[in-house]
Amino acid sequence: MLLTAVCIVLLIVLILEWFLNRRSRARAFWKIPGRRGTLIFGNCLDVVETPDVLFKKLRKWANSYKDLYRQWIFPYGVVHIYNPNDIEVIISNSKYNTKSLLYDFLRPWLRDGLLLSKGNKWQVRRKILTPSFHFNILQHFTTIVEENSSRLIRNLAKGEIEQTLDAVPLMSDVTLNSICETSMGTKLDEDTSGAGKIYKNSIHEIGKLIIYRIARSWLVFDTIFHLTKEGRRQKQVLKIIHEFPKKIIEERRSYIESHGFEIPTSDLNEDVVLGPLKRKMAMLDLLLFAEKDGLINEDGIQEEVDTFMFEGHDTTAMGLTYALLELANNPAIQDKVARELNDIFSESTRTASIHDLGQMKYLESCIKETLRLYPPVPFISRYLTDGLILSGHSIPPGMTLCHIHIFDLHRREDLYPEPLSFNPDRFAPENCISRHPYAYIPFSGGSRNCIGQRFAMMEMKSVLSAILRQFILLPVTNRSELEFTTDLVLRTTHPIYVKFVRRNNVNLQ
Ligand code: HEM
């Protein structure tokens, strides 16, 4: 009897404690600036919009609240941040490494690949994969990327002297080829490039389905989502998306088996990687060899390949597209890049070496400025487990997601005067010295930064320099016409067209 009474009292105390604690947390949460929401569901309906309207709304909210704002999207509190000090607090601290709930919507596709995994699994995988992005290995990959850039130029040269082209499919063809060949050791030929096209279209479609789901919080439950038209479509699209990388793995596996090479996996450093296989050693090979050591299994390999195929091509393709757009719209800047290339290559038609790419300082500034104005990954998100202070506001612990808006950070007037103007000189070394270290984060930062960033920069330099050595870019789509849309990468609602005009001195081999 006494025991029951004690238990009941204890239970009441616990409930009270939970309630008061929750109430005080809720109070702290509502003190953060933000829009009023409806009872219980909060701001859920604010985000039920088409992806283009949602994109505009997010920008409007970021402009209305100086440093941060909150939303209550049942059952989560969400803090939106775009101030470099707050961003530093989150991404420089491994305590806040956990990717938020939003990434769970990517899970049916990327499963527990590097982007989504956490803890020990993430650490082991990152360690296996890091050597394939070492500078020495990138040197070898440069040759492959340059071959792809040359192939693009040859294809462009088959067309008219002046051609207006849709930049996104053009650039994503190049980047998908490059990631397949460098990271997967597989060249897309006549047979496989059709499958590549279907794969790319499916990625666009799944991005839309994921955003549709994110904007409707009731679809967070798998059972409900799978009952919808979109849920059923997602299942079909996933089948297609998984098929293409699966084929690539099978091909590489049989290639390795038929060539019978072995490498010691106990010490996977870059010398080993470049040892027996030279430049043919790809990221996928590291995974296949790690499989033999029991560090990863077949499913693990597929999830990493899915992750790299997506992260490694779509992001870079969008970066390249916006760079073409800006160079076409800024003839003086384009001329300056052309002069820099002329200084490096003179009349020579040789492909660029890694050393040449290193000399393209002004082109590099143009790419950096492109990634500032158009960060291909416009936002990332974390789960805040502990309470903390952001921009002077107390963020209560638990149930809080933190959306980090790279797009809004990069367009802050206090960090970048005249933020909308395309000015590569912002990235001249002397102009970067006093910049906040977290004012520019196209590749995120901290331990969960982009593993492929050096590869991406190398590839963008290779493709753009190959184009600008042979073609003059003229504007067709004006940057003022761009209408962005919410997606997994920064896309626009309409195609981005650029005109390619052959230079007079062109001498294509
Ligand atoms: C311009 C091109 C690129 C941009 C802007 C970009 C941006 C980013 C960003 C912002 C993240 C952090 C994501 C997050 O915290 O949620 C990230 C992670 C990642 N990126 Fe990239 N990326 C690019 C190219 C690449 C390439 C070429 C590869 C592969 C070859 C790649 C592979 C990855 C992977 C695997 C991760 C997850 C890393 C981890 O969590 O350990 N990315 N990228």
Q: Looking at domain 32-259+277-502, which CATH architecture does it have? A: Orthogonal Bundle (1.10)
Q: Is the CB of 178 under 6 A from ligand 1?
A: no
Query: What SS3 class is residue 395?
Result: strand
- Does 87 score more than 80 pLDDT? yes
Under 8 Å between Cβ of 370 and 319: yes
Predicted pLDDT at 14: 56
**Residue indicated by tokens 């088409």:** 50
Label the pairing between strands 76-81 and 400-405: parallel
465 pocket-lining for ligand 1 (C-beta < 6 Å): no
- On whether the CB atoms of residues 235 and 226 are closer than 8 A, the answer is yes
Predicted local confidence at residue 509, as pLDDT: 40
pLDDT band at 330 (very low <50, low <70, confident <90, very high): very high
Residue 427 or residue 269, greater confidence? 427
Positive or negative, the Cα torsion across 213, 219, 220, 226? negative
Nearest atom, ligand 1, residue 126 CA:
41
| 450 annotated as belonging to a binding site for a ligand | yes
The pLDDT assigned to 268 comes to: 46
pLDDT for 329 beyond 90: yes
Please state whether the predicted TM-score (pTM) of the whole model is above 0.90: yes
The pLDDT score that the predictor gives to residue 264 is 45
| Percent of the chain topping pLDDT 90 | 68
Predicted pLDDT of residue 192: 62
Q: Is the CB of 445 under 6 A from ligand 1?
A: no
How many angstroms separate the CA atoms of 286 and 289, rounded? 5
Please tell me if the CB atom of residue 403 comes closer than 6 angstroms to any atom of ligand 1.
no
Two structure tokens written together for 60 = 């409007």
* Strand stretches in 103-214, DSSP E: 162-166
Q: Which residue has the higher pLDDT, 12 or 405?
A: 405
φ, ψ of residue 291 to 5 degrees: the values are -60, -40
pLDDT single digits (tens) 265-308: 444 455 544 444 444 567 788 888 888 888 889 999 999 999 99
Atom of ligand 1 nearest to the CA of 456: 27
Position 293 scores a pLDDT of 83
Residue 307 in contact with ligand 1 by CB distance below 6 A: yes
φ/ψ of 47, rounded to 5, equals -105, 0
Cα separation, 337 vs 317, in Å, equals 20
Question: pLDDT tens across 392-426, in order?
Answer: 999 988 778 999 999 999 999 999 999 999 999 99
Every domain of the chain and the residues it spans: 1-31, 32-259+277-502
At residue 82, the pLDDT reads 98
Q: What is the number of alpha carbons within 13 Å of residue 335 lying toward its C-beta? A: 3
pLDDT, the chain, mean = 89
> Sheet harboring 379-384: ordered strands across?
68-73, 76-81, 400-405, 379-384
- The per-residue pLDDT for range 24-53, each reduced to its tens digit, is 677 888 899 999 888 777 899 999 999 999
CB 46 within 8 A of CB 37: yes
